[in-house]
C-alpha cells in the first residue's frame, strides 16, 4: 500500500503542497483582515473586495439575511449586508460564507456529505464563539478555528482519492475522532493537515495553532487557551451532529477549566450554543 513504510509517508505540509485539487486560498479573508486593521476602512472598500467573487458575494447576501446576523428586513447587496452586521461583524459573516464554499463536496473517504461537514463546522464555530465570549480570547479567532477545524478531512480525503485507498476511515469518537485511523495510514491526522493548509493560506497563527492541537490541546505552545476552547467546542459539535457516536458526559475537566468554563455555567453555554446552532441549521444551509 502506498506510504505504508513510515519513511515514505508524506508530512502534512508536503501533502498540502502535493495536492492540486484543493480549494484555492480564500484570499478575500486575508484582504479583509488587512482592510479591517486600517483606521479609515469603509464599507464600500470591503464590499468591493467581496464582490470580486460572485459566488461568495451571493453567500454573503444570503447569510446576512439570516436571523443569526440580525436579519429582519431583506438586503439585496453585499454593501447592505455589511451595513447590517457592521465592521465588527463583517469578518464573521464573510468567514462563514468562505467556509461554506470550502466544504462544498462530500468526503468519500469518511462517508460524510458536504451538508454534514458544514453542519459540524457551524456547530463547532457556535460553541467556540460562545466560549470565547466568556474567556479572554479573541472571538473571531475562536469562530475561525471552529469553522475550519475539519478542513484537514478535506485534505486527507483528496489524498485518499488520489491514492485509490479502499475503505473508509472509522471514527473512534470524541475526542480523537478519525485521528487513530488517519495516523495509522499517514502518520498524522486531519488536525495537522488542516493546520498545514491554514498555514499555507497565511491564516492567523492563533486559529491555525488551535486547529493543529485540537485533539491534544495541552501541547499547544502559544495559544493554549484557544486550543482548549476548540477542543471543548468539538464536544458540543459531536453532541449536536454525531448522534450515532457515544461521547463522554462532559469534556475533559482540565479543558473546561482552561477554557474558563465553570461547571455551574456549563448548561447555560450549551443552551446558548444549541439555540444558535438550531438557528443556523434553519437559515444558513449549505447551498
Per residue in 157-190, pLDDT (tens digit) is 999 999 999 999 999 999 999 999 999 999 999 9
**CB distance 230 to 217 below 8 Å:** yes
Residue 30 CB partners (closer than 8 Å, separation 6+): 201, 202, 203
Residues in the chain: 287
- Which residue would you say has higher pLDDT here, 285 or 264? 264
Using CA atoms, how far apart are residues 32 and 20, in angstroms rounded to an integer?
25
pLDDT tens track for 210-229: 999 999 999 999 999 999 99
Decide if 147 contacts 122 (C-beta within 8 A).
yes
193 grid coordinates:
493537515
Domains and CATH numbers, the chain: 6-21+106-283 (1.10.3210.10)
pLDDT per residue as tens digits for the range 197-213: 999 998 989 999 999 99
Which residue, among 268, 287, 284, has the nearest Cα to 92 in the 3D structure? 284
pLDDT for 284 beyond 60: no
Amino acid at each position: 500500500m502506498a506510504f505504508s513504510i513510515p519513511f515514505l509517508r508524506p508530512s502534512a505540509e508536503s501533502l498540502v503542497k502535493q495536492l492540486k485539487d484543493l480549494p484555492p486560498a480564500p484570499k478575500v479573508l486575508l484582504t479583509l483582515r488587512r482592510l479591517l486593521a486600517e483606521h479609515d476602512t469603509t464599507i464600500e472598500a470591503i464590499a468591493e473586495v467581496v464582490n470580486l467573487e460572485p459566488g461568495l458575494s451571493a453567500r454573503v447576501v444570503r447569510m446576512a439575511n439570516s436571523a443569526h446576523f440580525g436579519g429582519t428586513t431583506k438586503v439585496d447587496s453585499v454593501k447592505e449586508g455589511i451595513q447590517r452586521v457592521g465592521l465588527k461583524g463583517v469578518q464573521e459573516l464573510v468567514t462563514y460564507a468562505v467556509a461554506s464554499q470550502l466544504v462544498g463536496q462530500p468526503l468519500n473517504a469518511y462517508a460524510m456529505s458536504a451538508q454534514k461537514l458544514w453542519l459540524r463546522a457551524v456547530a463547532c464555530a457556535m460553541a467556540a464563539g460562545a466560549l470565547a465570549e466568556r474567556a479572554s480570547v479573541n472571538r473571531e479567532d475562536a469562530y475561525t478555528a471552529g469553522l475550519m477545524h475539519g478542513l484537514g478531512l478535506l485534505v486527507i480525503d483528496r489524498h485518499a482519492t488520489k491514492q485509490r485507498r479502499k475503505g473508509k476511515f472509522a471514527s473512534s469518537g470524541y475526542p480523537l475522532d478519525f485521528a487513530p485511523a488517519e495516523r495509522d495510514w499517514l502518520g498524522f491526522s486531519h488536525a495537522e493537515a488542516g493546520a498545514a493548509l491554514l498555514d499555507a493560506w497565511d491564516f492567523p497563527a492563533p486559529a491555525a495553532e488551535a486547529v493543529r492541537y485540537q485533539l491534544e490541546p495541552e501541547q499547544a505552545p502559544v495559544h493554549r487557551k484557544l486550543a482548549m476552547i476548540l477542543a471543548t467546542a468539538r464536544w458540543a459539535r459531536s453532541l449536536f451532529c454525531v448522534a450515532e457516536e457515544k461521547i463522554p458526559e462532559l469534556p475533559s475537566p482540565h479543558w473546561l477549566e482552561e477554557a474558563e468554563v465553570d461547571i455551574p455555567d456549563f448548561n447555560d453555554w450549551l443552551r446558548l450554543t444549541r439555540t444558535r446552532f438550531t438557528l443556523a441549521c434553519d437559515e444558513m444551509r449549505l447551498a
